[in-house]
Structure 1
């Protein structure tokens, strides 16, 4: 993989965490993400490294600052407990909120 391809998801992680923790300077967020990224140097499976880095960096940042609530951070709406993208068709929103069944978490008989 090229260096650009390797860092694109990590750049997105830095961006998301910078938005979530606006009281932390962006340079500090980038340093924390970089530190967590280097913990995975030499990993044989790198597919999930950005997710793991984001999780660990988020935990470090939570110890340093209070995150902005997601409702203020994102334009994503919550409908009946489901995240809904702003440009979704209203029928798709309705379909997603009406899904039930064992595979979707319903355990009642």
Structure 2
């Protein structure tokens, strides 16, 4: 369950995206952000969830042409898996991945 702090950050995300996309009704932005937030439910590390939610919702808002299409796409995409993060121990001095 998201903490109060995380929920507060999600509200800030909704406000920022609503200002950035005035052509999209605020309830639609809220639905897109909620779908993006649901995508990260159950993840153990919660520190970056608001940032990841904002990026995912922003991508949906920018990619789709109409608000209704944005909501449908966001809900559909919320059900896709997040790729696992790379193991930092496999990074070389340049920060790039190297083969094991």
Pairwise CA distance, 1:63? 1.6
The answer to whether the aligner puts 1:5 opposite 2:12 as a matched pair is: no
Pair member with larger Rg: 1
State the match for 1:91 in structure 2. Answer: none
State TM-score, norm by structure 1.
0.55
RMSD (CA atoms): 2.1
User: Tell me, what secondary structure is at the counterpart of 2:57?
Assistant: helix
Pairwise CA distance, 1:4? 3.1
Tell me, in whole angstroms, the C-alpha distance in 2 between the residues paired with 1:33 and 1:48.
15
State the match for 1:49 in structure 2. Answer: 49
Tell me, in whole angstroms, the C-alpha distance in 1 between the residues paired with 2:53 and 2:17.
11
User: Tell me, what secondary structure is at the counterpart of 1:24?
Assistant: coil
Tell me, in whole angstroms, the C-alpha distance in 1 between the residues paired with 2:55 and 2:2.
24
The structure in which a higher percent of residues are strand is 1
Task: Please show how residues 1-109 of structure 1 align to structure 2 within 5 Å.
Answer: 3-65=3-65
State TM-score, norm by structure 2.
0.60
State the match for 2:89 in structure 1. Answer: none
How many residue pairs match? The answer is: 66
User: CA 1:2 to 1:24, structure 2 compared with 1: closer, same or farther past 3 Å?
Assistant: closer
Tell me, in whole angstroms, the C-alpha distance in 1 between the residues paired with 2:62 and 2:2.
32
Gaps of 5+ in 1: 66-109
